[in-house]
Structure 1
Amino acid sequence: MTTLARFSALVYTLLVVEVLFVLAAAPGLVVLLLLDRDASNVPLFVVCAVPLGPAVSAAVYAVHRRRSDLADLHPARAFLRGYRLNVLGVLRVWLPALAVLAVVFVSLVNRAAARIPGWWVGALWVLAAVVVLWSANALVISSLYVFRAADVARLAAYFLAHCPGVALGTAGLLLTAGAITFLASEAFVLLPASLFIAALVLVCRPMCAEIERRFVA
């Protein structure tokens, strides 16, 4: 296949995945875009993120399964198959992560009223960062492999320490997305969502290679 054909296939895949991702995440995103950026809405922000996990998972599955053969280029089919196969497994790790983040961020926004000491505020931010990075690992693992939820949780934690490059790359992607959201709007970060997901799949390749070498028969 020529370079132009490969590039065209990649662009087509990313465009289709982008549209399907937005549609899959729409129930939460629509409400999220209507909410004011107010501390009192933090619990609602977390609830709006529930559909995001399965949507990211399906997009990861579709991008990872992308075929190099133009005759077998069906990203929509791959996305829908990934969503159907992974939605329950993803929610088993995604919902607990969101619950922890909800508690952390509610504590942070009410730190003055609760008289939380400064060192504890710092610890909460560290906990939030760890949970977010763990969630990214867990989403990728549960999207591409069939493990029990407990095993996904352990593997996601294991690779935080044993693949620091993956954690750093994921952190860079999340910081970029967060900066776009903070400086512009949640809507703007949706425009390159498929690019972020493709980058996440690329960043997580060392982790996936290790999983396939050690844990997948």
Structure 2
Amino acid sequence: MSTAPAADFGTGVLSRAAALVHTLLTVEALFLAASAPGLAGLLLLGLGPGPDAANLPLAALCLLPVGPAASAAVYALHHRGRDLTDLHPARVYLRGWRLNAHSALKLWAPLLAWLTVIAFTLTHFAATGLPGWWAVLLGAIGVVLLLWGAHALVLTSLFTFRARDTARLAAYFLLRHGRATLAAASLLVLAGASTALLTEALPALFAAPLLLSLLHSGRTVIAETQEDFTA
């Protein structure tokens, strides 16, 4: 007869792995549900005869729900339970959505607007009459904006700052924590490559693991924010 205390159940290595898988699956399902209106719109836009640059503003509108959904996912993954007997990922996800949806949208909407302007300009670049190096500059600005957005997503999901303060901190951490920025860049490359080579739906279907990796790579950003920028 085993003499192990009952409290030990659910805290072993296999149990923690099962808890992580359960949390990832639940968060992924809730992320897709929260993003569903926009993802459905993107699907309808993609049913046309081919990609049309004129649809970029509509695509940006469709992507608006993704920001709050991703923020809630980061919150839920950060506050996930490790004990298999005490898991409530759906409850934590919904709490994160209620807490962060508005603040996430205040940063996500301008980011989408700027990225849309850049993408629209690049797709009509021949008509602008600008020299070729402007295209390189615009592409570089777009990449920096995406990396800034990755830091801003983590910060706005886990901390309560004004939107302007979150924006400044995200910009500050771009160079302050180069490894975290490079890790975010690698995730963006992975998402972009999977979209280009396989299917546009793949990043959405693997959003939870990607966001968990972003959260893991941003540990130094989170730690410094807690130590230096919170009371």
CA shift, 1:174, in A, is 1.0
The secondary structure found in structure 2 opposite 1:165 is: helix
Residue in structure 2 matching 1:45, options 47, 59, 72: 59
The equivalent residue for 2:75 is: 61
The equivalent residue for 1:28 is: 38
The structure with the larger Rg is 2
Output the CA distance in 2 between the equivalents of 1:215 and 1:158. Answer: 12
Give runs of aligned pairs for residues 5-24 of structure 1, distance below 5 A.
5-24=15-34
Q: How many residues align structurally?
A: 217
> Identical aligned pairs, as a percentage?
50
CA shift, 1:71, in A, is 3.1
Do residues 173 (structure 1) and 173 (structure 2) align? no
Is the contact between residue 35 and residue 65 of structure 2 (CA under 8 Å) also seen in structure 1?
Answer: yes
Residue in structure 1 matching 2:124, options 89, 99, 110: 110
Do residues 145 (structure 1) and 149 (structure 2) align? no
Look up the equivalent residue of 2:63 and give its one-letter code: A
Q: Runs of 4 or more off by more than 3 Å in structure 1?
A: none
Output the CA distance in 1 between the equivalents of 2:143 and 2:28. Answer: 26
Is the contact between residue 19 and residue 87 of structure 2 (CA under 8 Å) also seen in structure 1?
Answer: yes
Output the CA distance in 2 between the equivalents of 1:101 and 1:214. Answer: 31
CA RMSD of aligned residues (A): 1.1
Deviations along 1:161-187, one digit per CA (max 9) or x if unpaired, are 100111110011111111111112222
Look up the equivalent residue of 1:102 and give its one-letter code: T
Where does the alignment leave 5 or more consecutive residues of structure 2 unmatched? 1-10
Q: Bigger shift: 35-44 or 24-33?
A: 35-44
TM-score by length of 2: 0.91
Output the CA distance in 2 between the equivalents of 1:71 and 1:154. Answer: 40
Residue in structure 1 matching 2:97, options 74, 78, 83: 83
Q: Bigger shift: 177-186 or 84-93?
A: 177-186
Look up the equivalent residue of 1:96 and give its one-letter code: P
Residue in structure 2 matching 1:126, options 114, 133, 140: 140
Output the CA distance in 1 between the equivalents of 2:118 and 2:168. Answer: 21
TM-score by length of 1: 0.97
